[in-house]
Amino acid sequence: MAEKWDKQFMEFIRRTSDDIRRTGEDLKVEAERLLGEVRDPSRQAKLKATLSEFRDKAAAVTKEAAERLEGAARHVEDFVSRGLDVEKEKAAASPPKGASAKASPPPAEPTPGTEAPAPKAPRKTGKTIGKKAAAKKASAAQKTAPAKKTAAGKTGKTLGRKRA
């Protein structure tokens, strides 16, 4: 039985070696053909022209990409600097804590022939004036009277709608 396997193995090796030999010969023929084409002066000129064109296109694309990148970088720099300028203006416009109102810069004098713009009213923050008085009255009332408690042990305050 071992002889049968040995014969089959030897036949496989012969077939494989023949296939490898044929493939090697095909590769050699193809390599010689390609070398002949590369050595051909007309093909070399065509190849050089193609490579030159490719190099020029690559340089143009690279230059355009660099310009776009620089433009984008400039836009980012401008955006950041404008943001920093706005922050500086905000910081300069608002007086530091503890500074008096006398430290504000004097108003600019109008040029002859033009009217000075009306001064802007100070910006209100938080609640409006009418609500402040009501809030003060309510807080005074809360201090004097304890909050009512419900059955669950919570105060009668709600976050949203008022209870009826």
Q: What is the pLDDT along the chain (164 residues), one digit of tens a residue?
A: 678 888 888 999 999 999 999 999 999 999 999 888 888 888 888 888 999 999 999 999 999 999 999 999 999 998 888 888 888 888 887 766 655 555 555 555 555 555 555 566 666 555 455 555 555 555 555 555 555 555 555 555 556 666 55
| CA–CA separation, 34 and 144 (whole Å) | 104
| CA–CA separation, 55 and 44 (whole Å) | 16
Instruction: Output the six-digit token pair for 132.
Output: 């402040």
| Residues 117 and 109: beta-carbon distance below 8 Å | no
- pLDDT for position 115: 56
Bridge partners of residue 44, in order along the sequence: none
CA distances from 11 to 21, 69, 156 (A): 15, 65, 99
Residue tagged 């193609």 (tokens): 50
Distance between first and last Cα of the chain: 103
